[in-house]
Structure 1
């Protein structure tokens, strides 16, 4: 048993032992409020689902280099900040993965289209300039959320226009790290105000060829029309310019974890990623006697251009997506005991995808080929239409027992327009298919029971179905003639989540415990045809199950502790690897553990508010990841890691605050992520000890 795992269990035992004392000592209940589940503020003990949140105080005290540092204070949440830049993947009730199992929102509006999913969606959230709260629904979302809300829904909530306080802040760190951010708030009246915020981050990176520049801009206007109506309009925009690098082999990691993993020939090209993002949305709210309505129209644009350094020929990829959408719901209270929500989500997106060979490259090895400059791999437009009506009903069976039932219908259409001639093989195993249309339809039922033990505590059971759509790239960027037969059989992934949980919020102690089982059917996996070319198909069944424990305990006015812990098991219910491939033997992986699925994830924080030096706050943090298999064959394990971080905030005056951070205090050499693909190790090294310091000025 790993030491980090042991320490986590010991801490859980101590907290549980103190719970009885905390309950006796409590005089006031502490309500924890969430808005993600229903777009209205509700106490978490009234919701039969697992919702974690990060407060504005924690976010400000973290002054994080990446928003993942704050999100990981929620039990069961792991986000890897890839290559030290702004990219990320996630492991929330899932192994570490790049798939579309997590829905990312800002202010309840999706950051991207499900048809053009990118695992780096938090690139586009304004987390450096305007974040007041983070919320995560773990497991399948409520009826309000469709494709992607399988393992989690992550919502970034912008700072509201609630005061006339302005702010300027700066942070400096090693490896050329600089961040500048600020906000101006103007209250025209008690009912009318605007908040303008911006941020710029510039980081040379601790690895070779890992510099990143990100700028973001956020405007929020809030208008109270009358005592029943309000209007909130938001504009968020960002640009990202990031150098690209690659994972390392074991030998490269041992020799020098700071190297890029790219050859000198590739470095001479200076591969980069550029992405731009704009989203305009406006929410109209009406709240009357027993009736609530919310209507959110939005416009969204994003581009994403890069050189695919993980492919031997390093093609250029250029893409853009334009979206227009509407989120509308109405909530009716039939009496004090019953309420019904009906709504509809509508989105129309158009995605342009273009990939070509920027320079002539001859690859090495058995598959030696010459890729001529100017060769086009794909050039197409995909139009996506999603229409999703839903209904959700909540009722009281008694003073303590409530139920919720819901149903969502997702109708999704793809209209693919290929700008290239149709051919079986371009000489590099790429197939160009005729223009076509595809439709996916799915009903997702939800049901739950919530029992209030007391005003501050509840237990619940829950069932929820969810879907994950195949992306346009998975469907239409194919290989060889045989893959065309797979188009009509490729369908959405479906999942069923079963969950039981307990929550309590006391004066000094809050606890949330959940146990879940999630079955994923028709998992979209990579398969191979008779010629050895890859394609995407539904061929897997996967079972995920785990236990989550989150607790915040205030020992005294000066000391508090926060623990986020989860333990999980992820295995193949059915999966045949390399099925029908001529140059490799089939492998039946049924019953194997999924790769990159940590045995446990733990985050422990001890917070101290000094009584000797007023205004001084110190946080000591331990982050621990358990071992996991590096490959689906379960041939080699990675032992995980445990690192320590230190954060200090000192309020110099009412207006000025000094903050300092020391990441990886012991300068531990570790792999943030380790995997094997067909025998080749791919290691993402973790950052060494790094110091940051900065100032916040409010006026």
Structure 2
């Protein structure tokens, strides 16, 4: 019944879109609303001129949300789900993918990557700015244009800072339950009409609603913009942040039912107060040249990040310490040939050095599958990996007729790893870990892109596109190996390659906008997680995985006071061919452990993701805004064997903003309005449930002052 209802809803939406488009050709059609995006090309483009599915979150929505985390606002985009794990600042993503921790999403701030693909971390938004200096968020779904390389498989998320174009200053304070307090502010100074700087920052302190889940985060950002002339501009950005967060674990079903606020950690681990600490600094400077028929952009950048934590999700809970230092350059030039024809050539260069250390911080004896005693001080790995990436690309756009245009792209990625091990080589340290000799690995790939865009009129278009993309294995996946008997990774782990096919329709009217897309993505050599006899995870290529789905976004201004926004996606994710534990022998029974999971659904792949918002601007109480929101996800399998299902959830949130004066705003937010007890995420791992509980009803209140 549920699926029939969903597909009926989609069919109705398609029919509505067609009828609305027919109306748009009428003389009395509504005026268009221009929606601008910069993610696809680093220059401003009309959304309806692009054969891409790009969603955005406006500055107004960001300001009205007053969110604890950027994920709250991103979920207003169709097909975008980000789980804020354990109520802290960590997150994973499900964008045209199951809920996952892999490097399928490229995260940017102001068009510059937040991290290196070689040292990918699913928590990348830790390091993005989230203070009052933001202008909007953009998500380019699917494999992107030729400007983006490894990781831009399922989506590219771009956090965009507001330009330094006024002397607007702001301060804000938000207080909430569970000891939540957030302070933020920004100061802008103009030295001349074409020369200005903004300094912004935020500080967050939160005790957390779960035991052992406190968070402290500070961030500081500086943006300087100067125009030397109409042709030459320079924008320099400095971002710095520090995060200190207590660690906790997922819960079993019994623990969740008994008390979802507990930490899920054994007492001996709680006593050592496990924490995650990460520091981040990024400096970048973009030079832009606007000529008569040429646009050029050059962005040198440097990054540093550290990430130290106790891996509470592993049975032995080891200490992990890592740091990555990166320098790079993003350079492109766009040449306009004639009306409708242009060519972009560019190159991305990156060099990074990552240091990684993992050891046993405290003696721990595990139980159940692969039970063992891990002595304090045992070192699992201690190494340095150098990474070099070189990626030239070309993108050409042209016209076939007045209404039909095309785009062709090609990108070549050459990625090289140099691994240096500080430990002696051995096949097994007694806990299923292998230490390998120094080595070098190279990954090369050529990614073609092609699309057609048909401009139905000034405000609507239909498109079809194909995009090939890659995800390279990370340094950890390549070199932190298990024993010979349980892993064939060495020299055998390949990059994932994906082919995405997409058709879509977009229309933006005066009171109504509709975006509809269908995609099919096939991933070859997909990297999946397997487990050894000790219950520890390792990574293997798993042949072929297929993802498909439909995404619908509708925004409708019912009246001057009332607007409705609906974001919906329905998808299927399955193994086209996958033999789990191929070649492995059960050490107790001496029988093969291999299982054919071909045709199974991937774990944690929601049937649907939906977000419905009702936005009310009162015409009775001037300055009053109310947002009522429903967030819902469908059921999914909790494991790759498809033995147990999670039923999904539906929660409601309310946000109220009221202008006390032209400069002072009061905002109130109630998350999980009905105080529903639910699991934000559920999976089976190590033979037991791992439930991430959703937060109970939580009240936040604050003030924002512009001056």
Secondary structure of residue in 2 paired with 1:57: helix
Deviation for aligned residue 1:637: 1.4
Q: Which runs of 5+ in 2 are unaligned?
A: 587-591
Structure 2 counterpart of 1:643: 651
Contact 1:278 1:300 in 2 (8 A): yes
Q: 1:370 to 1:531 in 2, by over 3 A?
A: closer
Q: Over the residues paired in the alignment, what is the CA RMSD in angstroms?
A: 2.0
- Over 3 Å counting, the alpha-carbon distance change for 1:16 and 1:606 in structure 2 is farther
Q: Which stretch of structure 1 is more off in the superposition, 551-560 or 378-387?
A: 551-560
Q: Following TM superposition, by how much is the alpha carbon of 1:423 offset from its aligned partner in structure 2, in angstroms?
A: 1.8
2:191 corresponds to which of 188, 192, 202? 188
8 Å contact from structure 2 (residues 242, 278) kept in 1:
yes
Judged with a 3 Å threshold, the aligned counterparts in structure 2 of structure 1 residues 639 and 369 are, in CA distance, closer, same or farther, namely closer
Matched, 1:455 2:458: yes
The equivalent residue for 1:683 is 691
Are the counterparts in 2 of residues 22 and 508 from structure 1 also a CA contact under 8 Å? no
Map of 1:330-341 to 2, 5 A cutoff? 330-341=333-344
Q: Find the counterpart in structure 2 of residue 42 from structure 1.
A: 45
Corresponding residue SS for 2:134: coil
1:616 aligns with 2:619: no
Residue 528 (structure 2) pairs with residue 525 (structure 1): yes
CA–CA distance in structure 2, aligned partners of residues 534 and 263 of structure 1: 21
Question: What CA distance in whole angstroms lies between the structure 2 residues aligned with 1:335 and 1:21?
Answer: 31
Q: Which residue of 2 aligns with 1:593?
A: 601
In 2, Cα distance between equivalents of 1:467 and 1:351: 21
Paired residue for 1:380, among 361, 383, 388?
A: 383
- Structure 2 partner of 1:248: 251
Any stretches of 5+ residues in structure 1 without a counterpart? none
Aligned to 1:393: 396
Residue 657 of structure 1 corresponds to 665
Structure 1 residue 9 corresponds to structure 2 residue 9: yes
Quick one: distance in 1 between partners of 2:238 and 2:504?
A: 37
SS in 2 for 1:122: helix
Scaled by the length of structure 2, the TM-score of the pair is: 0.96
CA distance in structure 2 between the aligned counterparts of 1:322 and 1:271, rounded to whole angstroms:
25
**Would you say the 8 A contact 1:168–1:698 is kept in 2?**
yes
Distance 2:543 2:404 in 1: 38
Deviation (angstroms), 1:9:
2.9
* Residue number among 91, 103, 108 corresponding to 1:105 in the alignment: 108
| TM-score normalised per structure 1 | 0.97
1:694 equivalent in alignment to 2:697? no
Counterpart secondary structure, 1:378: strand
Task: Tell me the equivalent position of 2:678.
Answer: 670
Counterpart contact for 1:300–1:322, Cα < 8 Å: yes
Q: Quote the Cα distance in structure 2 between the aligned partners of 1:192 and 1:116.
A: 36
Give the count of matched residue pairs. Answer: 699
Deviates more, 1:296-305 or 1:9-18: 9-18
Q: Which residue of 2 aligns with 1:279?
A: 282
Separation in 1, partners of 2:534, 2:74: 44
How big is the shift at 1:14? Answer: 10
Partner of 2:519: 516
CA drift of 1:369 comes to 3.0
Contact persistence 1:353–1:380 (CA under 8 A): yes
Question: Which residue, 505, 510, 513 being the options, matches 1:507?
Answer: 510
Partners of 1:75 and 1:491 in 2: how far apart?
31
Any idea what SS the aligned residue of 1:556 has?
coil
* Matching of residues 224-303 of structure 1 within 5 Å: 224-303=227-306
Tell me the secondary structure at the aligned position of residue 489 of structure 2: helix
Structure 2 distance, partners of 1:579, 1:483, is: 10
Cα distance between partner residues in 2 of 1:487 and 1:328 = 34
Q: Output one character per residue of 1:654-690: Cα deviation in whole Å (capped at 9) or x when no partner.
A: 1100111011111111110011125411111111111
Which residue number corresponds to residue 589 of structure 2?
Answer: none
Q: In structure 2, what is the Cα distance between the partners aligned to 1:667 and 1:394?
A: 51
User: In structure 2, the residue corresponding to 1:426 is in which secondary structure?
Assistant: coil
User: In structure 1, the residue corresponding to 2:544 is in which secondary structure?
Assistant: strand
